[in-house]
Amino acid sequence: MKRNLCDGAIVSATAIVLALSAIGAADAAPRGKPNQIRYEYVPPKDPAHQPIHDQMKQGRALEHLRELLSPLRLPYPLKLKVASCDGVPNAWYGDEAITVCYELLAEIQKNAPKQDLPIGISRADTMLGPALDVFLHETGHAVFHMLDIPVLGREEDAADQFSAYVMLRLGKEEARKMILGAAYGYNVQMPQGPQVTVPVDAFSDEHSLPAQRAYNVLCMAYGADKKMFADIVEKDLLPKKRAESCEYEYEDLTFAMTKLIGPHIDRRVARKFHEVWARTVTARRARLARP
Ligand SMILES: [Zn+2]
């Protein structure tokens, strides 16, 4: 469940609202009910983390995440929490709560570049993207567990896929920023350069290597929208060879999300916040349904 990278969850307001509505096919009778998300800004133990706490609280970061996730029909409440973790930069799901450590958020801040990146994402996006990704990755674990969703393959990869899918349901511009920001967050965890050396036991980790996680999220994005993400292939951020299969990889993800998670999305709640997104996904689903 644990993840080495996390985010600063300072997620901007309306852009994020209710991306989940877009997943809701929701014709099966679901257990649980919507509006089950709770949140808590636990005061940090380390005074150095106070600004992160204050920023998030002022920006209503957890409130926005709650809104984003409120259409999920859950059998019991799920709490989103930021808290101190005795110096360990981590995030996890357990005991009906997602905990994201201030230490992890601080690390994300530290890793941000000094300036905006040439690919068109701002310094802020390089913090917001990884931050949102951490919360959504952990939400993936929570959803699989709370809703008894079967996971074929590695759960850590599935949680990454869940996160990428939800990010891609945001408004186009916002989705691009968050996806590229998240990819940046993974990339900076790797040694830099075309040839890298890592300890061999890094391959035994339950998570994919950071570079793989970056390529995977970019592949989902390219598979979802080749136009909007054309430049990531042109600039070789995503190698052409992998890019060829991304459309099919994304279709598989869409199928799984629609079939397994869709029935647990409350369309009424989702629609209330996100009518436009509901229309978008209906059109997308119709396109996918064509032979
Ligand atoms: Zn995880």
- pLDDT tens-digit series, residues 164-179: 999 999 888 899 999 9
pTM: 0.86
The answer to the question of residue 56 being in a domain is yes
Tally of CA atoms within 13 A in the half-sphere of 182 that contains its CB: 32
The answer to the question of residue 282 being in a domain is no
CA of 11 from ligand 1 middle (Å) equals: 20
Into how many domains does the chain fold?
A: 1
Return the minimum-mean-pLDDT range out of 56-70, 169-183, 267-281: 267-281
Residue range(s) defining the domain that contains residue 165: 11-190+209-265
pLDDT at residue 105, rounded to an integer: 98
Residue 3, φ and ψ in degrees, nearest 5: -140, 145
CA of 162 from ligand 1 middle (Å) equals: 11
Calculate mean pLDDT across residues 41-67. 95
The answer to the question of residue 109 being in a domain is yes
CA of 137 from ligand 1 middle (Å) equals: 6
Q: Beta 91-94 vs 97-101: how paired, if at all?
A: antiparallel
**Is it the case that residue 133 has pLDDT exceeding 70?**
yes
Ligand 1 (single-atom ion) residues, CB below 5 Å: 1, 3, 156, 159
**Is it the case that residue 20 has pLDDT exceeding 80?**
no
The answer to the question of residue 164 being in a domain is yes
CA of 139 from ligand 1 middle (Å) equals: 9
pLDDT at residue 5, rounded to an integer: 36
The answer to the question of residue 178 being in a domain is yes
CA of 141 from ligand 1 middle (Å) equals: 7
The answer to the question of residue 127 being in a domain is yes
Are 183 and 218 in contact, with CB atoms under 8 Å apart? yes
The answer to the question of residue 283 being in a domain is no
CA of 130 from ligand 1 middle (Å) equals: 13
Mean pLDDT of the chain: 87
Distances (CA, A) of 221 to 160, 211, 259: 12, 16, 20
CA of 123 from ligand 1 middle (Å) equals: 25
**Is it the case that residue 28 has pLDDT exceeding 60?**
no
pLDDT at residue 270, rounded to an integer: 80
CA of 234 from ligand 1 middle (Å) equals: 31
The answer to the question of residue 81 being in a domain is yes
Q: What is residue 72's three-state secondary structure?
A: strand
Distances (CA, A) of 262 to 30, 41, 235, 272: 10, 30, 35, 17
Distances (CA, A) of 196 to 55, 186, 193, 237: 36, 15, 6, 16
